[in-house]
Chain A
Amino acid sequence: MTTQRQARSNNKNAQKSAGPKTQQGKSTSSRNARKHGLNTKLSSAMVLKWFRVILNDEVALPGPLETDDRLQAAHRLAEAEARLTRARNTEANLLNNDFVMPGEYDAQRIARATEDLLIEKARYGEWDKECDTVFKELVQDIRERKTAKAKEYARQVRIIKRYCAEAESQRRKAVKRWAEVEILWRKGLKIQTEVGSQT
């Protein structure tokens, strides 16, 4: 059990090296818990771009969202689109980048190990039991690592697919809401135009 003296000492030592000191280190460690970044805040620039595209207005700004149903619906749809785009990009990056590298690395590793073992064989004669064991262990190690990697990959794909499905569902609801509000707004616009032209 830790004595009081040890605890005090641990505490004191911990104060001396509590985390990264440099700005770069702090920035790196701030991303330690980050898995895929899909829970982070959406980029406001991206949301604004979608907002303007939905309204077909290059200078539109999400102004009084609380009072204007149309802007609120457009903003909700813009957020849903931005969220879905981010999820789909993350999915594409995972498929394109993360699954290619380990195979190449393993191939290099096997080639190096085989070369070493062949040199050993040339030096000591026969491919003895020891060589055999070393090679089998290497293959087993790679196989286990690959299985673990494949499991982790499958887990990540599952998570991201869930985010994509969630984002898509939100977008569909937001599209329906936007269409309802937009149709009403257009009707209002038409009535006003007609009244205006009569007076």
Chain B
Amino acid sequence: MENKKRIRKKSIGEAELLDLLPKMAIFPGEDKATFEDLRQALLSDLSPATPYETTIAEKIITLEWESHRHRSLRDALIMKKFKQLVERIFSTKKITSEYENDRDRALSEYSLALISSNEKNKAIATEKLKELGYTPEEVLSEAYAQVLNLTWAHEEKLAELELRQRRLYDDLNIVKRTRPDSIEDADILSEP
């Protein structure tokens, strides 16, 4: 052991990496905790072992969050238009319900119920919509068609983000191949 020279190498810490990692802004309506959950899940899945692998993994996480953001924005546009169309249908057609004397309340409650996650209310509102001669799918496809000029920007961005993400996954796999094979009880003592 005396003649062997130990590697004088100091590994990179997290502080040194901070400048190089992509900065992720949390937009209004977004949840920092959700981002952190996604980050942790992806980090555990990608399992970066070196600082450089970590920078690639963090870039993938940022792109995933951006994709999530654009998908949410696109969906919000469609849902907003869907709600407007449903409101229009309910306001122009006769509502055969217990709310008949309170048209505004019916309008608001049914249109909200259709986009809510409460399955029971959604089923009731869907029935009412069907009574008026429409299916939610018909209204949704109309909504999609009407906001197409607004959603294309998100669709375009999503395609770009997906491509960049796929390339980063490829790069990460290439970099991972350079990891040293683990040799049990091995002691690396000097660089060649």
Closest residue of chain B to A58, judged by CB?
Answer: B10
**By DSSP majority rule, is chain A's interface helix, strand, loop, or mixed?**
helix
Which residues of A are found within 8 Å of B181, using beta-carbon distances? 186, 190
Contact call B52/A49, Cβ cutoff below 8 A: no
Q: Tell me, yes or no, whether B33 is within 8 Å of chain A by CB.
A: no
Contact call A52/B16, Cβ cutoff below 8 A: yes
Within 8 A of A (CB), among B173-188: 174-175, 177-178, 180-181, 183, 186, 188
Report B126 CB to chain A, min CB distance, Å.
39
A179 to B175, CA, bound (A): 6
Which of B20, B52, B55, B171 gathers the greatest number of chain A CB atoms within 10 Å?
B52
Contact call B17/A53, Cβ cutoff below 8 A: yes
Contact call B188/A168, Cβ cutoff below 8 A: no
Which residues of B are found within 8 Å of A185, using beta-carbon distances? 192
Contact call B16/A175, Cβ cutoff below 8 A: no
Contact call B20/A183, Cβ cutoff below 8 A: no
Contact call A53/B180, Cβ cutoff below 8 A: no
Which residues of A are found within 8 Å of B170, using beta-carbon distances? 172
Query: Of B12, B13, B188, which one neighbours A193 at CB under 8 angstroms?
Result: B188
Which residues of B are found within 8 Å of A172, using beta-carbon distances? 167, 170-171
Given contacts A53-B55, A190-B181, contact A58 B12 (CB under 8 A): yes
Q: Tell me, yes or no, whether B45 is within 8 Å of chain A by CB.
A: no
Interface range, A side: 20 to 34
Contact call A175/B171, Cβ cutoff below 8 A: yes
**By DSSP majority rule, is chain B's interface helix, strand, loop, or mixed?**
loop
Contact call A49/B20, Cβ cutoff below 8 A: yes
Report A161 CB to chain B, min CB distance, Å.
9
A179 to B179, CA, bound (A): 10
Closest residue of chain B to A85, judged by CB?
Answer: B20
Contact call B189/A196, Cβ cutoff below 8 A: yes
Closest residue of chain A to B186, judged by CB?
Answer: A193
A175 to B167, CA, bound (A): 11
Q: Tell me, yes or no, whether B6 is within 8 Å of chain A by CB.
A: no
Q: Tell me, yes or no, whether A56 is within 8 Å of chain B by CB.
A: yes
Which residues of B are found within 8 Å of A192, using beta-carbon distances? 190, 192
Q: Mark A65-94, 1 if CB is under 8 A from B, else 0.
A: 000000000000000010001001000000
Q: Tell me, yes or no, whether A176 is within 8 Å of chain B by CB.
A: yes
Q: Tell me, yes or no, whether B191 is within 8 Å of chain A by CB.
A: yes
Report B25 CB to chain A, min CB distance, Å.
9
A88 to B66, CA, bound (A): 14
Which of A56, A59, A171 gathers the greatest number of chain B CB atoms within 10 Å?
A56
Contact call A54/B10, Cβ cutoff below 8 A: no
Contact call A193/B189, Cβ cutoff below 8 A: yes
A149 to B171, CA, bound (A): 38
A57 to B191, CA, bound (A): 13
Which residues of A are found within 8 Å of B11, using beta-carbon distances? 56-58
On B, residues with C-beta under 8 Å from A are 4, 9-13, 16-17, 19-20, 22, 50-52, 55, 164, 167, 170-171, 174-175, 177-178, 180-181, 183, 186, 188-192
6 cross-chain pairs, A with B, having the tightest CB-CB distances, nearest first:
A182-B178, A58-B10, A53-B51, A188-B192, A179-B174, A175-B171
Beyond A49-B16, A53-B20, A58-B11, 10 additional contacts (C-beta under 8 Å) are A50-B20, A53-B12, A53-B17, A53-B55, A56-B9, A56-B12, A58-B13, A81-B20, A81-B55, A179-B177
